[in-house]
Amino acid sequence: MFKYLILLFLSFTTLNFIGQEKIIVVIDAGHGGKDPGNLNKTKGLMVEKDLNLAISKKLGNYITEYLGHRVKVVYSRTTDVFIPLEERVAKANKMNAAYFISIHCNASDNPAVHGTETHIHNIKSKTSRELGLQIEKQFKNRAGRNSRGLKLKTDRTFNLLVLKDSKMPAILVETGFMTNKSEEAYLNSDRGQDLIASAIFRGFRDYIRIKHNIVMQNPRTSKPAVKGPVYKIQIMASTGPVSLKNPSFKAIGKPIEEMKITNSTSPYNFKYYVGNFSDKREAKKLLREIQLTSFKDAYLVKFD
C-alpha cells in the first residue's frame, strides 16, 4: 500500500510539473535575405521581408511581456537572412512547438483590394481554424481593419508548405495589401505595426486562455527588465532640420529619428538616427547595410 501511494504521488508530481512547462509558439517572419517577398509600391518604403520581421518582433514582445510565464517565443529568423521553408517547418516540428504563426503581407493586381486574411491548411484543422477566427475577430472589432476572413486551401487553390507540413496548429496571417497605397503606408507606420501585432496577440491570448487555462501576467508587477545601453546609428548631423521625407532618408527603408540638441556648443543642432538596439551585434549588421547607401560615414552611437 505504501509503495502504491509513493508511485501515485510521483505520478501526480510529474503531471503537475509537465502541466507547468512553457508551451512553445514559433513566430515565422516570412521571406528574408535574397527573397524579399512583395516589393514596395511606394519608393522609400519597406519591402515585405522587412515588414514581416518588424511585425513579428512586436508580436513576440507582446507575448513575452504578458504571457512569458507560460509561453516561450521562438523566432524562425530575427535578422534579414534567407531560410528555406522546409527548415522553418522542420525547426518547429523538432522542438514540438504548440503553435506556428507565419507573418506576411499581401498583394493584388487590383490596387483597391485591402484588408487582412488568416490562412489555414483546411477546414479539418480545428485548432488552427479557431485560432484564425479569433485573430480575424480582433482585426475587425479592435484594430479597425477590413477583415477578409479565414482562408482555406480551397480558397487559394494551392498548398502553403508551412501549413501543410507543420505537425502543430499553424496559421499564416496576411496583415494587409502592399499594393493598396493607404494600406502600404499603414503597414510601414510604427502605429500600424503595433496595432496589427497587438491584434494577433489578443487573438492568440484569447484562444490559449481557454485552451491552456493561461492567465495574463501584469507586466507592472512582474520582474523588471534588465536595463542596459541602447545603440543607434547616426547617419548625419545638420545645423537645421532636414525633412524626414528626404529621398536619401527614404532610400534607407527604415524609420528615421530626429534629435534636436539644445545644450551644445556645436553648430550641428540636429542629429538623425536609425534603429534602437539593445544588442550591439544587431546594430552593427544594420550599420553595414546603411554604409552601403549614401550615408557611408554613418557610425554607431551608444546611449546609456
Instruction: Name the CATH architecture for the domain at 21-211.
Output: 3-Layer(aba) Sandwich (3.40)
Integer Cα distance of 253 and 80 in angstroms: 13
The Cβ-side half-sphere exposure at 78, using a 13 Å CA radius, reads 14
Integer Cα distance of 226 and 126 in angstroms: 40
Residue 219 has a pLDDT of 58
Residue 124 has a pLDDT of 86
**230-303 is a CATH 3.30.70 domain:** yes
Residue 20 has a pLDDT of 57
Residue 182 has a pLDDT of 94
Per-domain residue ranges of the chain: 21-211, 230-303
Residue 255 has a pLDDT of 81
Integer Cα distance of 23 and 13 in angstroms: 19
Residue 245 has a pLDDT of 80
Q: What is the pTM of this model?
A: 0.68
* Spans of the chain, pLDDT less than 70: 1-20, 218-228, 262-264
CA-CA-CA-CA dihedral for 30, 34, 38, 43, to nearest 10: 130
Residue pLDDT, tens place only, 95-136: 999 999 999 999 999 999 999 999 999 888 899 999 999 999
Residue 78 has a pLDDT of 94
Residue pLDDT, tens place only, 44-75: 999 999 999 999 999 999 999 899 999 999 99
Residue 227 has a pLDDT of 56
Q: Which long-range contacts (CB under 8 A, 24 or more apart) does 87-94 make?
A: 88/26, 88/28, 88/162, 89/161, 89/162, 89/165, 89/166, 91/26, 92/26, 92/28, 92/166, 92/167, 92/168, 93/165, 93/166, 93/167, 93/168
Residue 12 has a pLDDT of 41
> Is beta strand 99-106 parallel, antiparallel or unpaired with respect to 170-177?
parallel
Do 207 and 63 form a contact (C-beta atoms < 8 A)?
A: no
